Amino acid sequence: MRQDVRAGEALHEDSIEVNRAMIIGVPKEIKANEYRVALVPAGAEALVQAGHQVVMERGAGEGSGFPDDVYAHAGVRIVESAEDVWAQAEMIVKVKEPIEPEWPLIREGQLLFTYFHFAASEPLTRALMASRSVAVAYETVQLANGELPLLTPMSEVAGRLSILEGAKYLERFYGGRGILLGGVPGVLPAKVVILGGGVVGTHAARMAAGFGARVTILDVSLPRLRYLSDVMPANVSLLYSNRYNIREQIRDCDLLIGGVLLPGKKAPSLVKREDLATMLPGSVIVDVAVDQGGCVETIHPTTHEDPIYVVDGVIHYAVANMPGAVARTSTLALTNATLPYAITLANRGWREACRQDPALRLGINMVEGEIVYPGVAEAFGLPHVEADEVLAR
C-alpha cells in the first residue's frame, strides 16, 4: 500500500483552502474491460479531510485491488448504483470518457474531470454539449513547458504495453510473422519502428531496446531527436519524420508503433491505406494514438476482448484503453498525477481553480454547451469561445 499512501501525500499547497464543501462522485467504469478507478483510498481520505464528501459506486475500486471497506474506512459513502453517484455529485471524477449509457445521467452545470479525447468522437462531443455540463479533460491540462502532466503517466504505461502486445501478436499463433522480438544468437532481432519520440515513443523504444530489438524512432522535432540520441541505447536509431522516410522504414519493419500526439486535436494520419501493401505480411501495427483518431489511416478502436483485426495482411491492434489491462499500476500512476488537481477543483470550484492555474485552464474543453478548447472545435467545424471569456462570467 506504500504507493497508495504516496498518492495521498502528493497534494497542492492549497489543499486546506476550502471555499465550501463539495460532493465528489466516483462511478464504476463501464467501458469494456476497464478496471481502473479514478480515486484511490488515500486520495478519498485526503478529500474527506479537506472537508468534502466522497460518494462512490459499490465495487468501483475492486478491479484495481481496492475493496469497498477500505474506502469506507477512509470516509467514503458507498452507494449501490451509478445513478445514485451521478445524481448526488457536483463533481464526477472518472478515468475514461462517459459512454452512451452514462450520457443521460449527466446534469447541467455538473463538473466532469476525466479523459475525454473529444476530437476523436463527434457523438461524445455533441452529447456533452447537450448536457450543458462542464468538462475538464485530463489530456489537455498543460504546463508552461508543454508537458501534459495528466496524460504522461498513462502514456508511459501505454508505450511500454505497446511493445508487450506487439511482441505477442508477432507470434505465429496469432497470425504474426513468427518473430521473436530480441532474436537469438545467429538470428536477427525484430525491427521496431516508432512514429513519434514523445512519452509513448520513448517508453516504447526503451522497452523494445531492452528486449534487444532493432529500433527506429521518427520525429519531426530535431531538438527532441538530439535529446533522444543522448539517452537511448545503441540499438535505437533516430530519423527525421517525413512521408518518404516513413514509407521506407515500414517496408521491412516487424512492429510499427503509432505514438503521435497533438494535444486536444485529432492525430495526423501518417500511414496511408496504400502503404500497407508495402509492409511485410504478418507484421503488426499498435496505434497508441487511437484515442485521438489514430495515426494510421486504417485504424479504428478495438477492445481487450477483441483487440486485433487484419487489413491487407497487416495485424492492427487498437485497444483504446490499453492501460486498463494493468489496472492497479495504471490507477496508482494516474491518481498520483490527477489527485492534486482534483483537490484544487474541489477546494476552489472550477472557475477559481482555472483562473489561478494556467495549466488547469487549458483543461477546460466544454462549458455549459459551448466548446472552449480550439482543437475540439476544429475537429468538427464548430464554433468555440475563449477560456478567458468563460472564466470572466
Q: Distance of alpha carbon 108 from its chain centroid, rounded?
A: 25
Q: Is 12 a catalytic residue?
A: no
Place of cell 508477432: 170
> E strands of the chain, at which residues?
23-26, 53-57, 77-79, 91-93, 111-114, 134-137, 191-195, 214-219, 236-240, 255-258, 284-287, 308-311, 314-317, 364-367, 370-371
Which DSSP string do the residues of 365-377 spell out, in sequence order?
EEETTEE-SHHHH
Counting Cβ atoms within 10 Å, is residue 223 exposed (0-12), middle (13-18) or buried (19+)? Answer: exposed
Cell of 298: 486504417
What CA–CA distances, in Å, run from 255 to 15, 171, 243, 372? 45, 12, 18, 38
Exactly one of 4, 52, 84, 117 is catalytic; name it.
117
Q: Is 117 a catalytic residue?
A: yes
Spatial separation of the C-alpha atoms in residues 84 and 86, rounded to whole Å: 6
What CA–CA distances, in Å, run from 380 to 16, 387, 390? 41, 19, 21
Spatial separation of the C-alpha atoms in residues 45 and 102, rounded to whole Å: 26
Exactly one of 219, 291, 316, 357 is catalytic; name it.
291
Spatial separation of the C-alpha atoms in residues 141 and 151, rounded to whole Å: 8
DSSP annotation of 111 reads: E
Spatial separation of the C-alpha atoms in residues 24 and 21, rounded to whole Å: 10
SS3 at position 258: strand
The dihedral built from the CA positions of residue 388, 371, 348 and 334, taken in this order, carries a sign that is negative
Catalytically active residues are: 117, 291
